[in-house]
Amino acid sequence: MSLLELDGVKVHFPVKKGILFDRTVGHVYAVDGISLSVEAGQTYGLVGESGCGKTTLGRAVLRLVDVTDGRVVLDGTDVAQLPEKEMRSFRRRLQMVFQDPLGSLNPRQNIESILSEGMAAHGIGGNREERREKIKEILAKVGLPGNALSRYPHEFSGGQRQRIGIARALVLEPDLIICDEPVSALDVSIQAQVVNLLEELQKSMGLTYLVIAHDLAVVRHISDVIGVMYLGSLVEEAPSDALYEEPRHPYTRALMSAVPVPDPEVEDRRERILLLGDLPSPANPPAGCRFHTRCPWKQDTRCATERPELRDLGGGHRVACHFAAEIASGEITRTSGEVVPAAHEGSGGSGGSEASGAPRASGASGGGAAKGSSSGERASEAPAGT
């Protein structure tokens, strides 16, 4: 059995309006029906752009936000249903590493106080001395000097603060650590240190991670399984290598093609799929497939009306697209969008003419598509002009 299982998890935030008495006028569908499972000792990576609900999902697992519907099962216990009191002691088993290393540490507590507070709350370590020994041991593991105990968060560098954040999670010996953008606030050279640390700790202590990040390259590096989120739902899930080798969902393809690679040779040859327009509001998500307003492969049938379920394509590769197979085999070609081929070579090449020859998305399919088509059309004229 998996360590963590999410079954149809929904988190809807009410939108309230009113002068004296608030009334609910709608909902933000931050997380809208997510099912996934995380195996013990593995790393599950959740990627998506801002506003896709990945952070909310992480907080729902920790029950820092209320789950509207669905089950969050950790090791047989439904976290979403636990009474408040039991939940508090259960929290020891679920820990979190935050994005902002400084903001997540109380500036007025020293490191010993920060690290021992959780232990005290859960009765780990009999007395102060025992706790201090344990803290020193953990500090050594995350690569901080023992004299850090009496210091305050502002006396450390960004990378060291993140190590403190990791140590705070580790002292409670949790079953699952949720890392919410663990490295995105750090400099590149420090990112690598923290990524390596997380991997070493996993190896030596058998940790299980749920890593939430927007950086596909980082997520691919540390995850065993990756789930791609778009507008509150999972659009694709696959083992890390399979996802990279063969992304099946149009959104995953576009996302992957948009990540710049620090290598000019690759950059010049790389084909980029430019998505049209912006992310629709999660308060008013499009009907049918959530992605159909921006999808370059959108079809007239099903996409706008029927919401696709995650289907298993074999080998643990799950995709929520009606036409995944047809797109992969080339039966369906792109109907909109733009592909930027080799950037510095052959401008106005095949990619450009292909895009300008593409029919416009119909204006009837919602604001997003209408927006997109005009910018797509305009942009596609550009290569021809040079």
Partner 1 sequence: MPLLDVDELTVTFGGRGRRADRGRDRDRKPTEAAGPTEAAGPAEDTSVRAAGPAGPAEDTSVRAAGPAGPAGGNAVRAVNGVSFSVDEGQVVGLVGESGCGKSVTSLALMGLLPRKGATLGGRADFEGADLLAMGPRRIRDLRGSKLAMIFQDPLSSLNPVVPIGVQVTEILKRHRGMKGEAARKEAAQLLDRVGIPDPDRRLREYPHQLSGGMRQRALIAMAVACAPRLLIADEPTTALDVTIQAQILELLKELVDQEGTALLMITHDLGVVAGLCDQVNVLYAGKVVESSGRRELFAHPTHPYTHGLLGSIPRLDAPRGEPLNPIRGSINDQIAWADGCAFAPRCDRYEMGCLTGTPELTEPREAGHQARCVNPVLATTEVPA
Partner 2 sequence: MSLATTKTSKIDRLAELTAKKETSSGASLWREAFRRLRGSKMAIIGAVVIAAFVVVAIVGPWLAPYSPTAQTWRGEVLANQGEFVGARGENWFGLDHLGRDMFSRMLVGARQTLLVGVVSMLIGLVLGALVGAVSGAAATLGGRAGQRLDDVVMRVTDIMLALPSLLLAVSIAAVLGQSLTTVMIAVGVVQIPIFARLLRGSMLAQGGKDYVLAARSLGIRKRRIVLTQIMPNSLSPVIVQATLSLATAIIEAAALSYLGLGNPDPAIPEWGVMLSQAQRFFDNAPMMSMYPAVAIIITALGFTLLGEAMREALDPKLRG
Q: Which residues here bind partner 2, judged by CB under 8 A?
A: 59, 62, 64, 88-92, 94-96, 98-100, 103-110, 117-118, 121-122, 147, 150-152, 154-155, 165, 168, 172
Mapped onto helix, strand or coil, the DSSP state of residue 210 is strand
Residues 242-301 that bind partner 1 (CB under 8 A): 244, 254-268, 270, 272, 274-275, 277-279
Give the shortest CB-136-to-partner 1 separation in angstroms: 22
Q: Confirm or reject binding of residue 196 to partner 1 (CB under 8 A).
A: yes
From the list partner 1, partner 2, none, partner contacted by residue 190 (C-beta under 5 to 8 A by kind): partner 1
Q: If contact means CB under 5 to 8 A according to the sort of partner, which of partner 1, partner 2, none does residue 216 touch?
A: partner 1
> How many whole angstroms separate alpha carbon 261 and alpha carbon 250?
20
Residue whose CB is less far from partner 2, 87 or 313? 87
The option from partner 1, partner 2, none interacting with 64 (CB < 5 to 8 A, set by class) reads partner 2
Find the shortest distance in angstroms from Cβ 101 to partner 2: 9
* Burial annotation 95-117 (CB, 10 A radius, 16+ → b, else e): bbbbbebeebbeeeebbbebbbe
Strand 77-78 and strand 69-74: the pairing is antiparallel
Residue 117 interface partner, choices partner 2, partner 1, none, CB cut-off 5-8 Å depending on type:
partner 2
The DSSP secondary structure of 7-46, one letter per residue, reads EEEEEEEEEEE-SSS-EEEEEEEEEEEEEEEE-TT-EEEE
Query: Considering the complex, what minimum distance in angstroms separates the CB of residue 352 from partner 2?
Result: 45
* String marking each residue 159-188 x if it binds partner 1 according to CB under 8 A: xx--------------------------xx
Q: Least distance from C-beta 262 to partner 1, angstroms? A: 4
129: number of CA atoms within 13 Å, CB side? 0
For partner 1, how many residues bind (rule: CB under 8 A)?
60
Assess 22 for contact with partner 1 (CB under 8 A): no
The reply to whether 384 sits near partner 1 by the rule CB under 8 A is no
| Whole-number Å distance between alpha carbons of 74 and 91 | 11
Q: Minimum distance from CB of 300 to partner 2 (Å)?
A: 45
The residue within the footprint of partner 1, chosen from 216, 231, 289, 327 (CB under 8 A), is: 216
In the chain, the amino acid numbered 312 is D
Among 39, 78, 100, 199, binds partner 1 (CB under 8 A): 199
Q: Cβ 346 to partner 2, closest distance in Å?
A: 48
Local structure of 110: helix, strand or coil: coil
Count how many Cα atoms sit within 13 Å of the Cα of residue 124 in the half-sphere of its side chain. Answer: 20
Is residue 28 within 8 A of residue 283, CB to CB? The reply is yes
Task: For residue 186, give the nearest of 201, 178, 198 by alpha carbon.
Answer: 198
Closest CA to 238 of 322, 343, 306, 317: 317
Q: Provide, rounded to whole angstroms, the least separation between the CB of residue 62 and partner 2.
A: 5
Burial (0-12, 13-18, 19+ Cβ within 10 Å), 378: exposed
Candidate ranges 58-66, 125-133, 191-199, 324-332; the one touching partner 1 (CB under 8 A): 191-199
| Residue 187 Cβ vs partner 1, minimum distance, rounded to whole Å | 4
Nearest to 180 by CA among 215, 153, 207, 155: 215
Which CB sits closer to partner 1, 191 or 336? 191
